[in-house]
Structure 1
Amino acid sequence: MTLVALAYPSMLGLNKVTTAQDRVIANTQWGPLTEGDRDFVVKVRAAGLWEYPVGQMGLQKGTTPGVLTASKHLIDGHAALDASCRKIAPMLNITLPNVASPQQQGFVSQLKADSGKQFDVDFANILRMTHGSIFNTIAKIRSTTKNSLVRALADQANDTVLDHITVMEKTGLVDFDQTLFQQTTPPKLPNSALTPPPPPAGQPEVVLTPPPHPTSSPLDLSGITGGGGATPSPSPTVG
């Protein structure tokens, strides 16, 4: 396996899209890193790359107090999650994308085309559906990962995504029948639509800037030690 294959996942998306999620691809001082662990870190990063700008869009286009509040939560929460991803990715030798997947970019395009009440409705339902989908992934990663850095990110993601689910529901605009159907019966999309492209060599890393008075904080790694009983090593190695 080459370093490039280790550093960037072959397939990502809202669904389980690889067949060897529990395969250990690196041994690190924070515990073994599996394909599922690596894909999770990239998924969290990719989520912020489209939900953060949608939050900014919501502040401009939203017409109800609930949508405006939810937009602020998206910006605040994903800026902190993004900082955590950018902090732990180099420690685990994970390459992060700079743009979201084509599917996720499609959500952004749809919301850009909306206005007025239609924007509010689509905003609440798309984001309730996508957060509900990743919520299940977070639970699985949190309960199975042996890597303490990934576990800490899952804790933060769990709190953030639950908050975002809640504020979307508080808009009063979520059609639960439709949204839960879409969440549990996602469309069959080609792998290319679910995968955020790797960044070109030398491209500066995109940074999601926190709001002026953030209420969410990135991970504090000062107390995080090795995980899962793995033998510490100075850097990730191909497993």
Structure 2
Amino acid sequence: MGGAMTLTLAALAYPSVLGLSTVSSSPSRVIADTQWGPLTEADRDFVVKVRAAGLWEYPVGQIGLQKGSSKGVITASQHLIDGHAALDTTCRKIAPMLNITLPNVASPQQVGFVNQLKSDSGKQFDTDFANILRMTHGSIFNTVAKIRSTTKNSLVRALADQANDTVLDHITVMEKTGLVDFDQTLFQQTTPPKLPDSDVTPPPPAVGQPEVVLTPPPTATSTPVDIDGIAGGGNTGGGNAGPGASPSPAPTAP
């Protein structure tokens, strides 16, 4: 696949700012011309954002299965693991096709969310779990919609379709816990703290470090994008669900 792409040097660079902040000074700038359509800075950063989200939300789902004290939180935890395993499979498939470097660790801000939930217990865990995850998914939901409506790259468009369904599902299961404080959560979502770039940027992977794989659960219902269908059809966009990834050792929470 790589030989069919004409890449600019900028496409090799690791994204400068990731996480939940605005990630690019020139999001519409085309950094690579590929057989699936032009790749912009915003497209590249979106793929990395989806990967980074899974690197902390998947472990939080594992924690929720152990510490959740309500049926709603247990169900939401299962959805986190299921959904992000499938999204991660898609990210890891399309990233090398588009010459995008993916992180292996979430951003310090995201790791902070994990650590906070690790320290919680009982009702406090359930409440923080529901509100943190509702806030973060609400924040990324608008980004997904913007990428889906503007990208000219069919691989990124297919990932955005999958992410839209997954994020909406996760927003819904958080709300169904009955624990979301909408006044507080929506305020935090629309008025995020001004954090330094280093707090919202996942570190690049160390040279030679094995790629972290988010293993689908045995009862997975979410499925990754059928990349072969998109690649075989050229720059046509869209994508149907395909088989899940082969089981690999699950990561531990950061």
Give TM class, smaller chain.
over 0.9
- Cα distance, 1:16 vs. partner? 1.4
SS for the counterpart of 2:135 is: helix
Residue pair 2:16, 2:23 contacting (<8 A) in 1 also: no
The 5 Å alignment of 1:184-199 reads 184-199=190-205
Q: How large is the RMSD of aligned CA atoms in angstroms?
A: 1.6
- Cα distance, 1:8 vs. partner? 1.6
Q: Which of 235, 242, 252 is residue 227 of structure 1 equivalent to?
A: 235
Structure 2, unaligned runs of 5 or more: 1-6, 238-254
Task: Give the structure 1 partner of residue 101 of structure 2.
Answer: 95
Q: If the length of structure 1 is used for normalisation, what is the TM-score?
A: 0.93
Aligned length: 229
Between the aligned partners of 1:201 and 1:89, the Cα distance in structure 2 is: 17
- Bigger Cα displacement from structure 2, 47-56 vs 1-10: 1-10
Q: Which of 23, 28, 33 is residue 27 of structure 1 equivalent to?
A: 33
Residue pair 2:8, 2:31 contacting (<8 A) in 1 also: no
Residue pair 1:128, 1:174 contacting (<8 A) in 2 also: yes
Q: If the length of structure 2 is used for normalisation, what is the TM-score?
A: 0.87
SS for the counterpart of 1:222 is: helix
Does 2:134 correspond to 1:128? yes
- Cα distance, 1:5 vs. partner? 5.9
SS for the counterpart of 1:79 is: helix
- Identify which of structures 1 and 2 has the higher relative contact order when contacts are C-alpha pairs closer than 8 Å and 6+ apart: 1
- Cα distance, 1:223 vs. partner? 2.6
Does 2:165 correspond to 1:159? yes
SS for the counterpart of 1:197 is: coil
Structure 1, unaligned runs of 5 or more: 230-239
Task: Give the structure 1 partner of residue 15 of structure 2.
Answer: 9
Does 2:60 correspond to 1:49? no
Residue pair 1:12, 1:43 contacting (<8 A) in 2 also: yes
Does 2:79 correspond to 1:68? no
Does 2:206 correspond to 1:200? yes
Residue pair 2:28, 2:41 contacting (<8 A) in 1 also: yes
Between the aligned partners of 1:76 and 1:47, the Cα distance in structure 2 is: 13
SS for the counterpart of 2:32 is: strand
Name the % identity: 83
Task: Give the structure 1 partner of residue 216 of structure 2.
Answer: 210
CA offset digits 1:52-82 (Å, max 9, x no partner)? 0000000000000000000000000000000
